Structure formats: C-alpha cells, structure tokens
Amino acid sequence: MNLNQFRDITRYPSAIAGLIIIFILIGISVYTIFALPYNETVVKWRGGDMVWQDNPRTAPPTWTNYFRSKKLPETLIFRSTDAGIDKQRTPLKDDLTDVYMAFQFDYTADDFPQEIILFFDSTFEQKAPYISLTWITPDGRKINIGDFSIEKTYTRRISQDEKLTKKLDGQPAEIGLFADPNSDVLQPLKGTYTLEVAGLTFEPGSDFDVKTVIYGKVFGLAGTDHLRRDLLLALLWGTPVALAFGLIAAVATSVLTMIIAAAGTWYGGWVDSLIQRITEINMMLPVLPILIMVGVFYSRSLWVILGVVIVLSIFSASIKSYRSIFMQEREAGYIQAAKSYGAGNGRIIFLYLIPRIIPILIPSLVVLIPSFVFLEASLAVLGLGDPLMPTWGKIIDDARTNGALYKGLYYWVLEPSFMLMLTGFSFAMLGFALDRIFNPRLRGM
Amino acid sequence: MSIDVKATPERVQADSDILISVENLHVWFELKKWGFSHVGWVRAVDNVTFQLKRGEAIAIVGESGCGKSSLMKTLLLLNRPHKGSVFFEGQDISNIKGKALKWYRSQVGYVQQDPYGALPPFMPVHRILEEPLIINGVKDKHERDERIRQALQEVALTPVEDFLNKYPHMLSGGQQQRVVIARAMILEPKLLVADEPVSMLDASVRVEILRLLRKLQEEHNLSVMYITHDLSTVRFFSERIFVMYAGKLVEQTHIEELLNNPLHPYTKALLTGTSVPDAANATHLKEVPPGEPPSLVNPPNGCRFHPRCAHAIAGVCDVKEPLHFEPVPGHFVNCWLYEDGRTSFPE
C-alpha cells in the first residue's frame, strides 16, 4: 500500500464531498464535547419542566417559517426584571403598596400562540400579594384576564382558565385574546398588544416578580419535543456518540477480524478449523435478538452494547473472505522468502500478510462505519437506547412513541433521520472512492 | 552453535570440504481423507543422496513436478524431511528448531523464480533488504544501511540512491531479480539456492543475471544449488549437474560430460528437447519420450522412467529399481542399461 494513493481522492468529487461532510460531523462532535459537557447535558436532558419551561412543546424549527405562507409565532418572554420594564411602586395607606408594570409587544405572526403562562415569584410574610391582569388589544379593547392572589412561586396558566374561556366566547385564551373580532375567519390581529400586571402588596418589603411566556409554535434551530426539550442538544450530542460508536465498532471488528483470519490461515491446522467453526456458528446467530436480550436483561449502556456488537461481529463472514485472500498470499514468493531468511510467525502475519489486505480493508471499513451507526439507531428505536445519552435513535424513538408522524410533526423524525443519512452518505461516498483507488480493477466499472 | 550430531568418522573427516551432505533424503507429503485418515504419500523426493562442496555450483535439472523444488525447499527447511538427513557443515539440520534454525537460515540464501512475486509489493527496496538484517539481529541502523548499500552495489543496482526508495513494481524484471539476489546475499550465506532464477526473465537479461550469480559465487566462495528445467542455461556456471526424474536422481556428472555423453534415456530426451535456434528445427519434429511423468503417489515399479523409455528391458526395468552405476569415472547413472559395463548411450 502506498500512502500516495490517498492523494488520488482529489480525483473523485464525490469523495471530497463525503470527506467535507465527515469533517463537518467531526467538527460538530468536537464542538459539542467541549461546549456542552457530557455530565451537564445528561442532567439537562433529563431535567424536566424546571429546565425547559420557557420552550414550547413539539414546536418545529424556526427556519420552517421561510417555507410557510402563514408564519408561525416565535416564543415571547417578558420578565419584570428586564431592562425596558418600568416597575412602578406606589405606596398607599398603611403597608399597602400598588405595583404596576406593563409589557408591550408587537405581534406579527399569522397564527395564534401555543399557550400563555405567567410565572410569579413573590416575597411576603403573611399576606400574599393580589394580582390583577389586563390585556389591551391593538384595537383598544381592554380585557380583564384574571384577579388572583399568588403564592411564593406561582404559575398562572391563562390558557386553562375556564372563566376566561367563557368570557372569550368559548375560545381558549391564546386564541381569544389574539383573535381579530372583525374577521370572518379565525385569525390573529396584528399590532401592538399590552399586558398590564397590577398588584397590591400588603406588607412592608413584600414584592413580586413575573415572567410572562407567550409560547410560540416554532423554536430554535431544531425545534422541541413533547417535553419542551431543545432537539438541537440531542442532535448535537448524537453526532459524537454515533461517530464514536460507528468508528470504534468498525475499526475494532475489522482489525480483529483481519488479525484472526490472518493468524488462522497462517497457522492452519486445528487453529484454522476452530476459527472456521466458530465463524460458521456465529454467522448463524441472530445479532439483533441477542442485542435485545442483552439490553433487556443486562444493560442498555451504549458501551456494553458496543462491546457485544464487536464480539458478535468479529467472527463474521469477512473472516471467510479475508481467509480466501490470505490463503493465496500464504503461498506467495515473498512469504516463502521471508520464511527462508528466518521471519517468525508474528512478523509474517503482521508485516507480510496483513499489509497486503489493508487496501481491501480500508474501503470496507469506511463503508462499515455507517452500518454500525444505523445499528445503534435501530436499537434506540427499539427502545434499547442508552438510558442517559441523547442520541439520534432516541429522538426517533421519542417521536414514534409520541405519534409524531400521526400528528404531522415531521421535523421530529426527519431531523435525526437526516443526520443518520448524512453520516451514511458521507462514509459511503468516501468508501466507494477509496475502493476504486485501492482496487484499480474496479476503476472501469 | 552446537547441535547434537551423530558424527561418523568419515563425516568428521570430510567436514572441512563438504558444506552440505544429503543422505537418503525422502520428502513425502501425506495425503489425507476428511482431514485425518491416511490415504497415501506423495513421494516428491525419494531416497536422494548427494554432497555439495564449499564453493561448488551444482545444477539440478528435471521437468516440472519431478521434485526438484521439494528438494530445494527441504534444503531451505521450508519442508522437513520425511526420512533421511541433511548435514550442514557436519551437523544434522533435519530437525533443528528455534535459534539453530534461525542461524541455519541465515547461512542459506534463496533466489526465487518469479522476482515480482518474491518481493513484497508494499515494501520499498531498502525495507526489503533491511528485513533479513532486522530478523537476524543487526541492531545498529547505521550498519544495516551500510550493508544494504553494499549489497545493492554488489548486484550492480547503482547509483544506490536511485533504488533505495523504489517499490518492486517500479523496477524492471532484471532489476527485481537483482534485488532478490541482493536480499539472498545480504546475510552473507554459505549456500545459495537458486530456483530457476532466470526462467521468468527476458532472454536478454538472463545472461547478465547468470553472470552476476557466477561472479558472486566466485567472490564469496559460495556453494550454489541451481535448479532449472532449461539445460541451455546450466553451463553458465555449474560444475556438476544432477538430473532428477519423478523424485529420484537419475544421473550425476560434470556438465561437459553430461552434454557430450548423456547416459540415462531421460537425460538424452531432455537434451533432445532443448531448443537450439536453428532454422532446421522448424521443419522437423524431434523425438521426445511419449506420455507424462508418473504419479508420485503410485510410482511405477522398478525404474520410474520405464513406461516412457524406448530402451526399457522387459523383466528388469519394470521390476527392479535401477542401481547406481559408474560407467565412466565421475559419471553416475541409475539405469539398468549400464549393468553390462557400456560407457555410452546405445544408438
């Protein structure tokens, strides 16, 4: 094998495209590993509502708006602590204090928001602050949308307020508050809305802060899932996991298979027979059911599954094909010569037999990588994914169990699938080009 | 290097002169059915005895499948003898292992038939030549480089720098064979085994390679065992010639004697079969013995050549194995025709 052969890659545009994609995937992996540390990610991914409360549920990515005629709203978040918000405190008689703030925003989307929730934080000793909310539409209508007292932390889900729904002609708040009253069809009125939050505190030092979230219907680069989690996190972390799994499995199985085939062929006799029989038995074993059993009964850790995959793939059909090549090579003149000047068995196997097969090994190894990536994804789709790590397969699994396709949430399935296909595609393109470079007989085909 | 030797007085006496001594060598390969049950033996080399002196070149001729390659591989210990012994400098090497084997192999160089196949295609020339040195414990990198350069110079691959980093496929057939010879010589062996070293080369290069081998033999006082089926190349440098047929040595003598006075009917046939560029050859067919060489599993009784021999004596040749006759001093033949003391081939 000649390292110069790698330069021939430049003659295959498909290989260059494949290489570029692979480098991008590697770049993403490196970025992810350093920017989003593993432990934090695992905690965050499994963090639940506290971590993800500001995100909409099952929202497609924001960029899908470019392809929509009706633009979907993005999430709007206002905090009373934000710089532009003027929180007016007016002391009244006794310890009574009037707190007033107004959130003003422009609404330009063609669809209604998903949900409106206010999150309150307050400080008081005995008597809780009393809040009154007023909604002012662009056409000047003032709607009282709730009077209530709050607790120290209090979540007001306006969309689920049945009294308000009645007041808005049976429409839930996120629709009723935004609907254009003069339109025949249900559509949001565009313009500047104001939400006034007025509160009374009854104690000295008592105060409250509020975070208003008007959930949109699109989110971020990758959208969110049913638990409001940002899919981007999982897509990013899926990249190093998939590449590592595919690469380790492919390299380990190829190299071990090659060494075992070479040793078996070289020593011959019972060693060879034993390896052949193990291979034949192993080829009959169903890999997927065994992996499912390991996953169900032993461990679903990605690394345990990886180990089992490697062990099951070592004695694969490629032992047979490598053996047939080694059988020819074993009789080659230079092997005889090496024996005649005293080369030992190990030296002949590693320095004389194996280099001969590397040109065949490299392309097949590259093509093998995505098949292991797909295997990992398949296991995750079957519910045997790693319980901690977010991976592409697990996104698909979540999408499946939550009826994503039935509900029309195509992005949820397509994004991880796209990443999987991109990975497979890039390695396949590179592998096929390498195959042609290393095996010149294929060039004409 | 001490190896336990069952030394006989004669052998000890001959030690200084004789490099290799082959005694009753049998190289048989077992035929098995289903991997274990014995079916028979392939008698590739059957009861061969000869001696090779230091600095002497011998040629072994015979057609394909006559056992000459098996004999050679046994001398390289790539095969082990089934029966009989091989003595190297008086020491029995038939069953040596480990360090002794490694030492013996460093004493024997091997030049193969197909130079391209004999060179690992994935190694550059310097690496190919370095391998035997590394294996045989030349630890100093500088010394290895020095010896590689010297070896390349000896086989006239100069300037050395032009060849050190070339891969075998970048060299011509003749250059490849020179690399093979350099590799065989790099450990400074005492015996060179050349298995049809020129049969795969262009006619124009053959003479140069044979001259090179001759030069190396003379300069290093090498013993050379030259194996060929082509009698026309034999006279270039071998002194004695052995004719082999179906695993047996049938005739041994000096080259001139053999060419002028072939005694065994098979040798006669071989000589007839050798082409000479002569326009007359285009118009008539030569007489060659009919049939094929016999099976080595079930060789014919008596003389193995008798089924193809025009001179076979019924009742003798097909019954008894021929004895070793010396009709002319220094000219040995295994053929019943010479039982009566005649000294030349019957017309």
> What's the per-residue H, E or C state across chain B?
CCCCCCCCHHHHHHCCCEEEEEEEEEEEEEEEECCCEEEEEEEEEEEEEEEEECCCEEEEECCCCCCHHHHHHHHCCCCCCCEEEEEECCEECCCCCHHHHHHHHHHEEEECCCHHHHCCCCCCHHHHHHHHHHHCCCCCHHHHHHHHHHHHHHCCCCCHHHHHCCCHHHCCHHHHHHHHHHHHHCCCCCEEEEECCCCCCCHHHHHHHHHHHHHHHHHHCCEEEEEECCHHHHHHCCCEEEEEECCEEEEEEEHHHHHHCCCCHHHHHHHHHCCCCCHHHHCCCCCCCCCCCCCCCCCCCCCCCHHHCCCCCCCCCCCCCCCCEEEECCEEECCHHHHHCCCCCCC
B33 - beta bridge partners?
B37
Instruction: Write down all domains in chain A, each with its CATH number in brackets.
Output: 3-46+229-442 (1.10.3720), 62-215 (2.60.120)
**For A77-130, what is each residue's pLDDT tens digit?**
988 888 778 888 888 887 888 999 999 999 999 999 999 999 999 988 888 899
Q: How many residues does chain B have?
A: 347
Across all residues in chain B, what is the average pLDDT? 84
pLDDT-above-90 percentage for chain A: 46
Confirm or reject contact between B170 and chain A (CB < 8 A): no
Judged against a pLDDT cut of 50, whether residue B322 lies above it is answered with yes
Determine the residue of chain B that is closest to A344 in CA distance: B135
DSSP SS3 for A234? helix
Taking an 8 Å cut-off on Cβ atoms, the answer to whether A341 and B122 are in contact is no
Judged against a pLDDT cut of 50, whether residue B235 lies above it is answered with yes
What's the pLDDT at A132?
92
- Which residues does B66 contact at the CB level (< 8 Å), separation at least 6? B244, B245, B246, B247, B293
Determine the residue of chain B that is closest to A346 in CA distance: B135
**For A144-176, what is each residue's pLDDT tens digit?**
888 888 988 999 998 888 888 888 888 888 888
Least confident range from A412-421, B28-37, B321-330: namely B28-37
Closest by Cβ to B132, choosing from A1, A336, A341: A341
Confirm or reject contact between B240 and chain A (CB < 8 A): no
Interface test with A, best of B104, B135, B147, B169 (most A CBs within 10 A): B135
Sign of CA dihedral A165, A171, A172, A175: negative
Q: How confident is the model at residue A12 (pLDDT cuts 50, 70, 90)?
A: confident
Please tell me the distance in Å from B135's CA to the nearest CA on chain A.
6
Predicted ipTM beyond 0.95: no
Taking an 8 Å cut-off on Cβ atoms, the answer to whether A336 and B113 are in contact is no
Judged against a pLDDT cut of 50, whether residue B9 lies above it is answered with no
Q: How many alpha carbons lie under 13 Å from residue A91 in its C-beta half-sphere?
A: 6
Pick from A283, A284, A264: nearest CA to A274: A264
Determine the residue of chain B that is closest to A352 in CA distance: B120
Structure tokens at B195: 């298995």
Pick from A78, A100, A104: nearest CA to A88: A100
Structure tokens at A379: 């296991």
What's the pLDDT at B7?
44
Domain ranges of chain B: 264-347
Dihedral angle at the C-alpha atoms of A396, A402, A404, A407, nearest 10 degrees?
A: 180
Closest by Cβ to B105, choosing from A1, A273, A341: A341
Q: How confident is the model at residue B276 (pLDDT cuts 50, 70, 90)?
A: low
pTM listed for this prediction:
0.79
pLDDT-above-70 percentage for chain B: 92
Determine the residue of chain A that is closest to B184 in CA distance: A341
Determine the residue of chain A that is closest to B122 in CA distance: A1
What's the pLDDT at B15?
56
**For A374-421, what is each residue's pLDDT tens digit?**
998 998 888 888 888 888 999 999 999 999 889 989 999 999 999 999
What number is the average pLDDT over the span A327-348? 89
Taking an 8 Å cut-off on Cβ atoms, the answer to whether B131 and A343 are in contact is yes
Chain A / chain B CB contacts < 8 angstroms = 62
What's the pLDDT at A426?
94
**For A38-89, what is each residue's pLDDT tens digit?**
888 888 888 877 788 889 999 999 999 999 998 999 999 988 888 778 888 8
Closest by Cβ to A333, choosing from B102, B114, B132: B114
Judged against a pLDDT cut of 90, whether residue A235 lies above it is answered with yes
Please tell me the distance in Å from A434's CA to the nearest CA on chain B.
17
What's the pLDDT at A185?
86
Report which DSSP code applies to A285.
S
Please tell me the distance in Å from B120's CA to the nearest CA on chain A.
6
Confirm or reject contact between A346 and chain B (CB < 8 A): no
What's the pLDDT at A302?
87
Q: Please answer whether residues A67 and A209 qualify as being in contact, where contact means their C-beta atoms are separated by less than 8 angstroms.
A: no
B51 - beta bridge partners?
B21
Taking an 8 Å cut-off on Cβ atoms, the answer to whether A334 and B113 are in contact is no
Judged against a pLDDT cut of 90, whether residue B99 lies above it is answered with no
What number is the average pLDDT over the span B71-89? 88
Determine the residue of chain A that is closest to B135 in CA distance: A343
**For A174-214, what is each residue's pLDDT tens digit?**
888 998 888 888 889 999 999 999 998 888 888 888 999 99
Taking an 8 Å cut-off on Cβ atoms, the answer to whether A341 and B187 are in contact is yes
What's the pLDDT at B184?
92
What number is the average pLDDT over the span A358-377? 89
Structure tokens at A346: 């190990």
Judged against a pLDDT cut of 70, whether residue B45 lies above it is answered with yes
Judged against a pLDDT cut of 90, whether residue B196 lies above it is answered with no
What's the pLDDT at B131?
92
What number is the average pLDDT over the span B52-59? 88
Judged against a pLDDT cut of 60, whether residue B283 lies above it is answered with yes
**Cα gap B59→B236, rounded to integer Å:** 10
Please tell me the distance in Å from A360's CA to the nearest CA on chain B.
13
